[in-house]
Chains A and B, each alone.
Chain A
Amino acid sequence: MKYLKPIIVIIIFILIFIFLNKLLSPKYMTDLVEGNMTYEYYDEEKNHEVIFIGDCEVYANFSPMVLYEEEGITSYVRGNSQQLIWQSYYILKETLKYETPKVVVFNVNSMRYSKPVSEAYNRLAIDKMKWSKEKIDIIKASMTKEEDFLSYVIPLLRYHSRFDKLTNEDFEYLFKNKNSMHNGFLINKNIKPVESLPTKRRLSSYEFEQNCYDYLNKITKLCKENSIKLVLIKAPSVYPYWYDEYEEQIQKYAKENNLDYYNFKENVEEIGIDYSTDTYDGGLHLNLDGATKLSKYFSKILKENYELTDYRENEEISKIYNEKLETYKEAIK
């Protein structure tokens, strides 16, 4: 009994500490909703036959609800803003702990980045990831020079200065967030046609770094070990960031590893994308209309080539998906 009071005081402070960690961490509900992408997956029924991994070019351009509506495909986009290739690998590894899809679709755009880029993007991808070995590995692989591991363990160390920026949102979503995505797809209905494009930059080297190849090999190996068909894609974009040299290297890699590769930049007309109406940022990403067109197009490819189940005929799953579809249709109105 001698230590009862000190123990009670310690417990009180631990609770206050936990509360402050929760309170001061960003909730990503109205601003930067991309910060919730990793987290929203955990609430899902894990019944996906297709998993997308990659950067904004997947979560902005591919709508799982369209894939379901068109071909009955169950899918989820585990994308993040500027998801780097090692992040894609660890996110996939984590996903495989919950479920084993038939197909993993990887957007190769991240082959361009061999080093950690920005703390802000790291945070959006990693902060809300559940603790696991994958999370430890993803943090270690992603940290920029100025970051430290401890601030991922104790978010208060990173977000303490938000004490003067707290809003009602921080209290409302203190313990539970509201889903903003639709199976990982982020709806953007805005239209900003292509007007001018940045000039094509000359690079000192067009070779992908070995580090990127290492992770691509790891993704390939992981899929093979789990009997998953890995499909490489390059999402459409009119920005001149995907060089011919890149394209050649990916084609070569796909051929050598017996992988399918689709570069949708080449099929823009066939897909029906109109860059005066189907982009929300002047041609870098597709908006809702563009994503719907691309998803419809890709759903046919997936259905025809990868022996996917039509879950519209499955009572249990169709019930879940029809509800999701209803919510989705409400959101895109």
Chain B
Amino acid sequence: MLINILLLILSIGIYVSFGISNLIYILFSTVTTYVAARIIANKRVTKGGEPYNVNYTDKENKNAEIIEEVKDENSKNNQNKKNGKWILIITIAANACILIAIKILLYGQAKLNWLSGVQIIAPLGISYYTLQVISYIVDVYKGKIEAEKSFFKYVLYVMYFPYLFIGPITRYEDMKNELFKNKRIKPENIYNGTIRILWGLTKKIVIAGRVGILIGTIASDVSAYKGAYALLAMLLYSVQLYADFSGGIDIVIGGSKMLGINLKENFDSPYLSQSIKEFWRRWHIALSSWLKDYIYIPLGGNRCGKIRNKINIIITFVISGFWHGMNYLLWGLLHGLLVVYGKILKTKWKPINIIITFLLVSVLWSFFIWPDTLTSIQMIGSVFTNFNYAEMFSNFLELGLNMANIIVLIISVIALIIFDIKKEKIISKIKNYKLEGKIAVIGTLALIVLVFGIYGIGFNVNEFIYSKF
């Protein structure tokens, strides 16, 4: 309990440190969804319904009495749903509208010069916590989970600072047990959590930091750096984004692990995917599964005709693009099309499939590298029209990294690839190490981060690419 109180104070403190105005939005989301969930739950009880789904088993009290089945289950559930339907719709609309409005306003200001003189700043973590609170209220409405009685616990779920800024987007049913179980800070969790954090830092500041310098140079001048340079930027951005985002998630998961809180994985070696469809099962898993459960399935999922199913997939991906920002609608659409029609690109050779998928994903990251859609399309086009590969290779060392740093980058990327391929083996091996072995791993990673990390004056290590979406 004490740890949770401290966590809540710390979470609020950290959040407020980025600007007190942020607090208004997150409090709005927290209070509206908490109250709405309570009303929905109370309506069920007072109108004779069950507080939550009869099939739900309280994980926290596994040995507790299993809720007995209720007669006329279907009719009562339907009645219950009607009771809370409008509350659900209004609550989702209120929260989603803020997120949608902010995304549109940010785009309008950046591209169309809207509201000049007024600086629109997205409330920190709004893209993440909005999805969390929506999943909570929907799950309560569906009877999948019980509405949380304790406001304190619910606030901690929404504001838990490690995942507030870059995710992973969590579900209340997962977090309830993790956040509110009797935590014991165990040495084993400290060692494993520290290793995870340091591995995340290695990815973030040794790999992503270095790649960021190269991409920064290339993206800074579209007239000078196109063709081969553009292709290089696309391939490198795949590395940077993965190292930056998954590194950040490693830090979040590792930090939580130290507190005895287990978070779900957000990545599963995504660049080893053999199709775009598979890629989305392994990349940003929390967002993909959220979109599946709260957009794709409610749209009808695959329980409808083939054409409608394809449309559902495309709509889901366009919404995914919108979640990233108005700039990325086309990116979402293209991913949707590749998921729907990706089969035609599949060969019978696994390595070829992996390479094709990696290239497609990389090319589509163009929309994240260059500032607008048109430039991104022009840069993709230049890859096929501007064959300046010899020039690029001869000027490679003028892109911001010298040979020593290139070597560090190559070695660390190879280490990342090996880790992704042999992840389970490596993790179980480290878990079985004796204490001195774990300390050696921690010491080695710490020294690698300290010496080879790109940080210090001129570099903002605290900024993660995915925190801006």
- Contact call A156/B456, Cβ cutoff below 8 A: no
Collect the chain A residues with CB atoms within 8 Å of residue B435's CB. 3, 5-6
Nearest-CB residue, chain A, relative to B437: A9
List residues of chain A with CB within 8 A of the CB of B447. Answer: 13, 16-17, 20
Which residues of A1-25 are within 8 A (CB) of B?
3, 5-6, 8-10, 12-13, 16-17, 20, 24
Question: A13: which B residues are within 8 A, CB to CB?
Answer: 439-440, 443, 446-447
Identity of the chain B residue whose Cβ is nearest the Cβ of A146 in the assembled complex: B457
Q: Is A156 in contact with B450, judged by CB distance below 8 angstroms?
A: yes
Please tell me which one of the listed residues A9, A146, A163 contacts residue B436 in the complex, with CB atoms under 8 A apart. Answer: A9
> Using a CB-CB cutoff of 8 Å, which residues 412-469 of chain B contact chain A?
434-436, 439-440, 443, 446-447, 450-458
A6 touching B436, Cβ below 8 Å: yes
Give CA–CA (A164, B454) in the complex, Å. Answer: 13
**CB of A167 within 8 A of chain B?**
no
Q: Tell me if A147 and B457 are in contact (CB < 8 A).
A: yes
A151 within 8 A of B: yes
Interface residues of A in 168-200 (CB under 8 A from B): none
Contacts of B456 in A (CB 8 A): 151, 157-158, 160-161
Residues of chain A within 8 A (CB-CB) of B450 are: 17, 20, 156-157, 160
Q: Is A119 an interface residue (CB 8 A)?
A: yes
Q: Which residues of the other chain, B, contact A9 by a CB distance below 8 angstroms?
A: 436, 439-440, 443
Q: Name the CB-closest residue of A to B449.
A: A160
A164 to B404, CA, bound (A): 6
How many residues of chain B are within 8 Å of chain A by beta carbon? 20
Q: How many angstroms from the CA of A20 to the CA of B448 in the assembled complex? A: 11
Query: CA–CA, A13 to B448, complex, Å?
Result: 12
| A contacts with B: majority SS | helix
Please tell me which one of the listed residues A8, A24, A147 contacts residue B451 in the complex, with CB atoms under 8 A apart. A24
Q: Is B405 an interface residue (CB 8 A)?
A: yes
Complex: A151 Cα to B455 Cα, angstroms = 11
Q: Is the CB of A5 within 8 A of B436?
A: yes
Chain A residues within an 8 Å CB radius of B458? 146
B75 within 8 A of A: no
Distance between Cα atoms of A3 and B439 in the complex (Å): 12
A 150-166 contacts with B by CB, 8 A: 151, 156-158, 160-161, 163-164
A163 touching B439, Cβ below 8 Å: no
Whole-angstrom CA separation of A163 from B447 in the bound complex = 12
Closest to A119 in B: B457
Residue of A nearest to B435 (CB): A6
**B150 beta carbon closer than 8 Å to chain A:** no
Residues of A within 8 A of B454 (CB): 161
Q: Which of B443, B452, B457 contacts A163 (CB 8 A)?
A: B452
Task: Give A248 to B405 CA distance when docked, in angstroms.
Answer: 54
Nearest-Cβ distance from residue A101 to partner chain B, whole angstroms: 37
Determine how close the nearest CB of chain B comes to the CB of A23; give it in whole angstroms.
10
Contacts of B452 in A (CB 8 A): 160, 163
Residues of B within 8 A of A17 (CB): 447, 450
By a CB distance below 8 angstroms, the chain B residues around A20 are 447, 450-451
Contact check, A163 vs B453: say whether CB atoms are below 8 A apart. no
In the docked arrangement, what's the CA distance between A29 and B402, Å? 24
C-beta contact mask, A287-320 vs B, less than 8 Å → 1, else 0?
A: 0000000000000000000000000000000000
Q: A6-B435, A13-B446, A156-B451 are in contact. List 14 more A-B contacts (CB 8 A).
A: A5-B434, A5-B435, A6-B439, A9-B443, A17-B450, A146-B457, A147-B457, A157-B456, A160-B450, A160-B452, A160-B456, A161-B454, A163-B451, A163-B452
Interface residues of A, Cβ cutoff 8 Å to B: 3, 5-6, 8-10, 12-13, 16-17, 20, 24, 119, 146-147, 151, 156-158, 160-161, 163-164
Q: Which 7 A-B pairs have the closest CB atoms?
A: A164-B404, A13-B443, A5-B436, A9-B436, A6-B436, A6-B435, A9-B439
8 A-B residue pairs with Cβ-Cβ distance under 8 Å, sorted by A, are A5-B436, A8-B436, A16-B443, A157-B455, A160-B453, A161-B456, A163-B451, A163-B452
Q: Chain B residues in contact with chain A, CB under 8 A?
A: 402, 404-405, 434-436, 439-440, 443, 446-447, 450-458
